[in-house]
Structure 1
Amino acid sequence: MAESLIVLDPQADKSLQTQIREKIIQGILSGSIPAGHKMPSSRRMAEQLGVARNTVVLAYQQLVDDSFLVTRERSGFYVNEAILQQGVISHTGAAAVASSGDVDRAFWRGHCNPVSVSRRALQSRPANWLQYPFPFVSNEYDPRLYPGAEWRECTRDIYAGREVAQWATLGANEDDRQLVEQICTRLLPRRGIYVEPGQILLTSGLQQACYLLGQLLLNSNRAVGLVQPACTETEEIFRRTGARLASLPQDGDGPLLGEELQNSDCCFLQPNAHNPTAVTTSLERRRQLLQWALAQGSVIIENDCDHEFCYHGNPLPPIKSMSGGDSVIYLYQFPKVIDPGMQLAFVVAPKPVIQRLRALRYTLRERVPAINQRLLAKFVASGHLDSASFRINQQLRERWNALGEALMYHLPKLHVRRASCGTACWLELPQRVDAELLQKRAEQEGLLVEAVRDSSTLRLGFAAIEADKIEAGVRILAQLINGEVSETEETLSEACGRRLNAEALQKEFSGSVLLGTNTLGESYRIQLMADGTMLGYSRNDVDVDETDTGRWWLQGDLWVRQWRNWSYGRKASFYVVADGHRIKWFNEEGKLIDSAILARDS
């Protein structure tokens, strides 16, 4: 009987021993293997399943240790009859329930309150997203970045007798003192925030923190400002409070201080890298927002996401750390790549706010499990968080650079916003390209991208895809986008201006300077020397300069350039059209690639 219940999967992540053990437990609990039943000998079971006898012996022994089986001298293994005392539902009874037909939906429809959730909030990426060739998904990470060895070390430590006695006796609404201490002394001071333990509350993720704050601060008579488009989950949480959602406009420097903000009682901000638009709020705009809050008596809820993942210079200071930051409630969630199973977050606020939040959290009975708190405290205290963050940041910086290069090379005409922090960028599509249709077509090509609601834009994440796969994925995306672009776009044969031949190119370009903005929104300056060398300068969103050198030459009427590092160091050839001070580049197929301003070096 037992052999027929067990079908092993050699490709499964679980070992054969684990599979045998779980299948036997399932049979015992369902009643398929009755109490008192004699199990097949280990030799016979091994022959039936095609595994080593020792595998079955070890599985049986663990089942004995767990009291599912008992041994009888010179007789073998039997199902423990004490299992009957556990109130196990019989297999035949379960079958009768299963065969009773579908649940009466009308009955339950009459008993349940209506639930309204945005359709987009329920959309999920494929369950096997990691198996796709090009997973440009946001808020997900490559499992190889996960610091598994460090977590195993900490797990062993917290199960020592003295440690267990500390974390296992925490009160029902108490936070682990060691973790709160690490947050106060190690994490927050690096962000310029200095608080006492009584100003910190641990939560089960950022969503719980937002829910608690929404219940505390908002109601039908108040308004909360959100930059649109907003993170769907956060928007849904605040909407359920009954508060009015004020749509805050923004520019390249962050949220604008307009009428909607003036009429808001509080606002939710992501100054490092807004999700999904990847806008980084400038230092001056942060000061202005703080001045507004102080003048209006309003509250700022600051989500300091991805602070530790910065790829150029240093991250800007949180609003909470700035002068007058007492009106700011600070939220932080440990990155998913650091603790994918726990997703622990914390709130920093004045003590009266934390006391009320703690009372609200108690009513939910959803305190972060004590063992998770102590495990994370050990992880931080041991220095593993610092070393893992440094190592992961190096990997993400490589992918960040690779994505930027790929977008500039394959999609130079599109506007891309790429913050110095965060793990995703914002790609604006041509007007006639349907973002959702493009997303579906891309998935058929093994390319996972995310269409942003109510806009012709895509969000491209780079934390879950290897650096050496990024260009190939962007190449496929470029082919899909170019196939949808309007045919009325300017071409070489119809271009306005004067097409430059070899003689004109030599005259116009020697000793000139090209000024422009690349697809990443970075301003650049290229000096074209008469001897055929090039010097390139670009400046990104945090005013960090990048430089490169290269050479240019003529090949008939084609202008050819090759950088040392930029554009993968590949040779590229263009036809050039001059339209006043503007220079337009067309590829050899006659498609417009880019444009710049031509000036003389003074």
Structure 2
Amino acid sequence: MALPVETFFLRPDAQGTLQQQIQQMIAQGILSGRFQKGEKLPSTRKLATHLGVSRITVTIAYTELLANDYLVSRGRSGYFVSENAPAPPAFDLAPYGPDAVDWNRAIGQRFTGGATPTKPQDWSDYRYPFIYGQADPTLFDHANWRLCALQALGQRDFTSLTTDYYDQDDPQLIEFIARHTLPRRGINARPEQILITLGAQNALWLTTQVLLTQRRRAVLEDPSYHALSDILLQSRCHVTPVRVDQDGLPPDAIPPDTDVIFSTPSHQCPTNATMPMQRRRALLDRAREMDALIVEDDYEFEMSFLKPPSPALKSLDSDGRVIYVGSFSKSLFPGLRLGYLVGSEPFIREARALRASVLRHPPGHIQRTAAYFLSLGHYDALIRRMGTAFHERRGVMEEALAKHDLEIAGRGAYGGSSFWMRAPDAVDTDQLTQRLREKGVLIEPGRAFFAGPDRPTNYYRLAYSSIPSGRIGDGVAHIAEGIHAIS
């Protein structure tokens, strides 16, 4: 491989003649490992023109490096890094020196240390991965996704692949969401009211940045999606957690000075509770009474394999008060990072401008690939396949949990992909998680989902989305043994 001439530059503070500086520059590149053995150097003419020096100066520097076996000349092919050149050290080179910057003072706002836990990257290597939010490779439609990606790479879709949309989105994807996805949730929206995001989390971040300030108050469910807690903390707004019950968020418990209410009415995260229609109307009435906005995260509505899902809260909204968050990341695969916001035009306009200043728009090729996958019917077929598999796994898990007397705190009336579990009060599920990993079992401890200093430690989540039915029974047995050993 040829080394690009742009890799070479003379340092303004370098010592010695130009010939010596060029020699040192190339030798250091080889000794540091940046220039690999066998790689071709620029011609003497090309390097001389790039550095602004005479060709004879470069030629002499190359000749010296040839003599020291750093380089080798291959006739008319040019100069290459010698196979006998000194090898870079196997150990990491020491840094140039300690930072002169006091980062404790320089950092104006911190984003580390939030509640969101880190999931193991090697989750698929565990025999019993009761882990939420990962794609099951045995269910995903690899072949048709690949065909859609290839179609989106074709000459016909050159514009969607290469165009800088600036603050706009792929029109085919927007059209499908407006004409097919949203009507299934009872929502009517124009293209100007839809914005594509990098998943639901990005949608929640954009919403928080646009709607909340340090003087405004947000209500979130307790327990709730831990990443939302981090997002609200970073916005520096006033946050009031409201404990959910078996029907989700209770409207009467929302403080009167609330500006924005974050809720998951269709499938509460993480308890799986579904908000009844009467309470949904009461929540809208409460928000109207306070002149507050509601951000509806329509979490996991696609996984309603037990019975059809209730219409979205947004479908009941006649005031433009509800901002709707949807995502394809959970139903397709989490690495897709593709979601969408639906709201009134003034809100979407500001969210669009904010998105443009941060990341312009999600990649056009990904948007067009998803548009093809959706419009050709592959998405619906995938959802049906996943629903069938999840239904079977759910039944197997319910039997295993009952067999071992493990308490289900929330199971979801419509389906979903997980159970919200409660262990005896004496059990710390953070400790339980560590113990179970040694047996190849992955679970999610529940502490991170709760707010406040006195978070319950005995809750945990068990997902069945990424574990085969045949392994569920043994995995649950290991969990029961771990719980009994601690309690």
Q: What interval of TM-score do these two structures reach, taking the shorter chain for normalisation?
A: 0.7 to 0.9
Post-superposition shift, 1:207?
A: 1.9
Which stretches in structure 2 are left out of the alignment for 5+ residues? 1-29, 42-73, 448-454
Change (3 A) 1:237 1:35: same
Give the counterpart of 2:235 among 219, 228, 241: 241
Structure with max Cα Rg: 1
**1:584-595 equivalences in 2 (<5 Å):** none
SS in 2 for 1:391: helix
Q: Find the aligned partners of 1:278 and 1:27 in 2 and give their Cα distance.
A: 58
Post-superposition shift, 1:279?
A: 2.0
SS in 1 for 2:101: helix
Amino acid at match of 2:107: C
Corresponding residue for 1:417? 410
Corresponding residue for 1:12? none
Q: Find the aligned partners of 2:301 and 2:31 in 1 and give their Cα distance.
A: 49
Corresponding residue for 2:470? 468
**1:66-465 equivalences in 2 (<5 Å):** 99-101=93-95, 104-105=98-99, 107=101, 109=103, 110-113=105-108, 115-118=110-113, 120-121=115-116, 123-324=117-318, 326-411=320-405, 414-419=407-412, 420-453=414-447, 454-455=455-456, 456-465=458-467
Structure 1 contact 135–465 (Cα < 8 Å) conserved: yes
Corresponding residue for 2:57? none
Amino acid at match of 1:32: Q
**1:43-58 equivalences in 2 (<5 Å):** none
Post-superposition shift, 1:483?
A: 2.9
Q: Find the aligned partners of 1:233 and 1:99 in 2 and give their Cα distance.
A: 37
Q: Find the aligned partners of 1:203 and 1:80 in 2 and give their Cα distance.
A: 50
Post-superposition shift, 1:78?
A: 10
SS in 1 for 2:471: helix
* Segment drifting more, 393-402 vs 253-262: 253-262
Post-superposition shift, 1:337?
A: 4.8
Could you list the per-position Cα deviations for residues 445-503 of structure 1 after superposition, in whole angstroms to 9, with x for gaps in the alignment? 21111111121111111111111111111111112222333xxxxxxxxxxxxxxxxxx
Change (3 A) 1:119 1:368: closer
Q: Answer 1 or 2: which has greater helix percent.
A: 2
Change (3 A) 1:391 1:83: farther
Post-superposition shift, 1:148?
A: 0.6
Amino acid at match of 2:175: E
Structure 2 contact 160–364 (Cα < 8 Å) conserved: no
Post-superposition shift, 1:221?
A: 1.1
Change (3 A) 1:246 1:147: same
Structure 1 contact 207–234 (Cα < 8 Å) conserved: yes
Could you list the per-position Cα deviations for residues 514-545 of structure 1 after superposition, in whole angstroms to 9, with x for gaps in the alignment? xxxxxxxxxxxxxxxxxxxxxxxxxxxxxxxx
Post-superposition shift, 1:159?
A: 2.1
Structure 2 contact 165–360 (Cα < 8 Å) conserved: no
Could you list the per-position Cα deviations for residues 231-263 of structure 1 after superposition, in whole angstroms to 9, with x for gaps in the alignment? 221111111111111111221011112344433
Post-superposition shift, 1:277?
A: 2.2
Change (3 A) 1:428 1:189: same
Could you list the per-position Cα deviations for residues 382-436 of structure 1 after superposition, in whole angstroms to 9, with x for gaps in the alignment? 1111111111111111112221121112125x24311134322111111112221
Amino acid at match of 1:383: G
SS in 1 for 2:303: coil
SS in 2 for 1:258: helix
Pair 1:30 & 2:34 matched: yes
Structure 2 contact 114–230 (Cα < 8 Å) conserved: no
Structure 1 contact 305–422 (Cα < 8 Å) conserved: no
Post-superposition shift, 1:96?
A: 12
Change (3 A) 1:311 1:162: closer
Change (3 A) 1:477 1:94: same
Change (3 A) 1:100 1:117: closer
Q: Find the aligned partners of 2:75 and 2:395 in 1 and give their Cα distance.
A: 61
Please, what TM-score do these two structures have when normalized by structure 1? 0.64
Corresponding residue for 1:477? 479
Could you list the per-position Cα deviations for residues 140-181 of structure 1 after superposition, in whole angstroms to 9, with x for gaps in the alignment? 232222211111111221222121134423422221101100
Change (3 A) 1:400 1:265: same
Structure 2 contact 160–170 (Cα < 8 Å) conserved: no
Structure 1 contact 36–78 (Cα < 8 Å) conserved: no
Structure 1 contact 226–267 (Cα < 8 Å) conserved: yes
Amino acid at match of 1:479: E
Corresponding residue for 1:554? none
SS in 2 for 1:483: helix
Structure 1 contact 270–303 (Cα < 8 Å) conserved: yes
Could you list the per-position Cα deviations for residues 301-336 of structure 1 after superposition, in whole angstroms to 9, with x for gaps in the alignment? 000011111121111111001153621000001033
Q: Find the aligned partners of 1:33 and 1:442 in 2 and give their Cα distance.
A: 47
Percent of pairs with identical residues: 28
Corresponding residue for 2:62? none
Q: Find the aligned partners of 2:405 and 2:164 in 1 and give their Cα distance.
A: 55
Structure 2 contact 220–261 (Cα < 8 Å) conserved: yes
Q: Find the aligned partners of 1:96 and 1:473 in 2 and give their Cα distance.
A: 43
Q: Find the aligned partners of 1:256 and 1:481 in 2 and give their Cα distance.
A: 32
Which stretches in structure 1 are left out of the alignment for 5+ residues? 1-25, 38-76, 85-90, 486-602
Please, what TM-score do these two structures have when normalized by structure 2? 0.78
Change (3 A) 1:113 1:198: same
Q: Find the aligned partners of 2:329 and 2:92 in 1 and give their Cα distance.
A: 42
Structure 1 contact 272–422 (Cα < 8 Å) conserved: no
Q: Answer 1 or 2: which has greater strand percent.
A: 1
Structure 1 contact 147–338 (Cα < 8 Å) conserved: no
Q: Find the aligned partners of 2:119 and 2:263 in 1 and give their Cα distance.
A: 26
Aligned residues: 413
Corresponding residue for 2:66? none
Change (3 A) 1:164 1:29: farther
RMSD over equivalenced CA pairs, Å:
2.9
Could you list the per-position Cα deviations for residues 250-303 of structure 1 after superposition, in whole angstroms to 9, with x for gaps in the alignment? 210111123444331111111122222222222221111111112221100000
Amino acid at match of 2:482: L
Structure 2 contact 209–235 (Cα < 8 Å) conserved: yes
SS in 2 for 1:289: helix
Q: Find the aligned partners of 2:153 and 2:469 in 1 and give their Cα distance.
A: 38
Q: Find the aligned partners of 2:98 and 2:111 in 1 and give their Cα distance.
A: 21
Q: Find the aligned partners of 2:343 and 2:307 in 1 and give their Cα distance.
A: 28
SS in 2 for 1:331: strand
Change (3 A) 1:251 1:138: same
Post-superposition shift, 1:97?
A: 12
**1:491-502 equivalences in 2 (<5 Å):** none
Structure 1 contact 329–348 (Cα < 8 Å) conserved: yes
SS in 2 for 1:460: strand
Structure 1 contact 306–421 (Cα < 8 Å) conserved: no
Q: Find the aligned partners of 1:200 and 1:442 in 2 and give their Cα distance.
A: 43
Structure 2 contact 174–194 (Cα < 8 Å) conserved: yes
Change (3 A) 1:267 1:80: farther
Amino acid at match of 2:485: G
